[in-house]
């Protein structure tokens, strides 16, 4: 499986999410994300934190594992926060690493709780009235305003009551165009079996030991693995999450979900000595991605240029089968594979 990102201005996202004004998308690529955000605006619901986190981690080239480690929290806690749960304290630990701040605070040095209290008074509400409308106790409101402590769900409700679709937003002066996070349906673009066979045949002279396809999908790569070698697979929709895989393997060959490429790459380098990813060249060779590869003790041994299959969305970026090898310090070989797109 793989994903094709669209580009959306985060200023546009925030304008929709935080102010609720109808803004037309600037290109057809934005329509899906725009429609999804507009549903939240029209319903008056709080905007989920997942899109904001995903957008910022993509811009900063951070994996969830790295973000959790830098923030001093566990990965399960981070996932809980992104779903809107957890504690305010856990969320606040993440914000500096994502260039994010509280939506109602113009500068990160200002007191967020005091800012909420000021806005509440300006709207003519008492703490007791806020608590009653949110169906929580007044001491919960006091803890939020005085110490920014408590459950994140309570803070999200409080912020929404004051007119903020999300409690967090990019810090001023740091907003820019960034790739929008891929939706799950965009990660399901299957590799033509003939192309998978050609890629596996290209690397066949080097293959040995155990092979793993961590994103099997319809099985194009898995079924193309040499039959005399041990073959393994993962597929999230079949209940086998690759990010939970711990057994060492010799080779990973796959078309990964591009929306999770940093996470897949980071985890792949902990369990395999050789990795072949079918992905756009730009996704494999950002400065941060190359630093990640270097820190893990890998090098890019070969980049096999491939014509994008005709029935895939045409992104304009060169598609490659990139071979990453543990301990490789030599040159990167450039080669080409003829497309088998129908």
Residue 253 has pLDDT above 90, yes or no: yes
Kindly report the backbone phi and psi dihedral angles of residue 329, in degrees, each rounded to the nearest multiple of 5, phi listed first.
-120, 0
Average pLDDT estimate for 263-281: 95
Closest CA to 101 of 38, 46, 164, 153: 164
pLDDT in tens, 56-103: 888 888 888 889 988 899 999 999 998 888 999 999 999 888 888 898
pLDDT in tens, 285-326: 888 889 999 999 999 999 999 988 877 766 678 999 999 999
What is the reported pLDDT for 262?
A: 87
Full-prediction pTM beyond 0.85? no
What is the reported pLDDT for 52?
A: 85
| Residue pair 250/231 in contact by the 8 Å Cβ criterion | no
Percentage of residues in the chain having pLDDT higher than 70: 77
Average pLDDT estimate for 320-335: 95
What is the reported pLDDT for 50?
A: 79
Angle between helices 64-71 and 261-271 (to 10 degrees): 80
Per-residue confidence at 261, pLDDT binned at 50, 70, 90?
Answer: confident
Residue 174 has pLDDT above 60, yes or no: no
Give the other-Cβ count within 10 Å of 205's Cβ: 7
Q: What is the CA radius of gyration of the chain?
A: 23
Mean pLDDT of the chain: 81
Per-residue confidence at 5, pLDDT binned at 50, 70, 90?
Answer: very low
How far is Cα 329 from Cα 106, in angstroms, rounded to an integer? 47
What is the reported pLDDT for 172?
A: 61
What is the reported pLDDT for 108?
A: 55
pLDDT in tens, 98-151: 888 898 886 555 688 888 998 898 889 999 999 999 999 999 999 999 989 999
Average pLDDT estimate for 30-42: 46
Write the DSSP assignment of 271-301 as a string of letters.
HEEEEEEEEEHHHH-SHHHHHHHHHTTEEEE
Average pLDDT estimate for 20-32: 43
β-pairing, 272-280 vs 298-306, is unpaired
């Amino acid at each position: 499986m793989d994903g094709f990102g669209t580009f959306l201005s985060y200023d546009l996202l925030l304008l929709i999410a935080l102010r609720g004004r109808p803004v037309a998308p600037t290109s057809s690529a934005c329509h899906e994300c725009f429609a999804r955000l507009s549903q939240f605006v029209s319903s008056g619901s709080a905007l989920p934190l997942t899109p904001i986190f995903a957008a910022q981690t993509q811009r900063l080239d951070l994996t969830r594992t790295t973000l959790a480690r830098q923030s001093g929290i566990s990965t399960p806690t981070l996932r809980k926060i992104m779903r809107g749960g957890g504690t305010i304290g856990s969320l606040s630990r993440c914000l500096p690493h994502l260039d994010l701040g509280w939506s109602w605070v113009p500068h990160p040095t200002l007191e967020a709780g005091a800012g909420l209290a000021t806005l509440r008074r300006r709207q003519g509400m008492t703490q007791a009235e806020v608590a009653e409308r949110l169906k929580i106790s007044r001491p919960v409101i006091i803890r939020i305003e005085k110490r920014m402590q408590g459950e994140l769900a309570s803070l999200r409700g409080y912020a929404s009551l004051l007119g903020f679709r999300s409690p967090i937003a990019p810090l001023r002066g740091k907003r820019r165009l960034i790739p929008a996070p891929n939706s799950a349906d965009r990660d399901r673009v299957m590799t033509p079996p003939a192309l998978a066979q050609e890629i596996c045949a290209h690397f066949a002279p080097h293959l040995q030991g155990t092979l793993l396809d961590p994103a099997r999908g319809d099985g194009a790569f898995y079924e193309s693995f040499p039959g005399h070698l041990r073959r393994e697979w993962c597929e999230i929709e079949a209940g086998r999450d690759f990010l939970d895989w711990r057994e060492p393997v010799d080779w990973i060959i796959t078309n990964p979900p591009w929306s999770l490429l940093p996470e897949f790459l980071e985890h792949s380098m902990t369990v395999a000595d050789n990795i072949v990813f079918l992905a756009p060249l730009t996704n494999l060779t950002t400065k941060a991605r190359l630093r990640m590869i270097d820190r893990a003790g890998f090098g890019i041994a070969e980049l096999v240029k491939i014509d994008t299959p005709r029935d895939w969305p045409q992104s304009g970026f060169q598609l490659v089968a990139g071979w990453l090898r543990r301990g490789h310090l030599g040159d990167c070989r450039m080669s080409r594979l003829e497309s088998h797109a129908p």
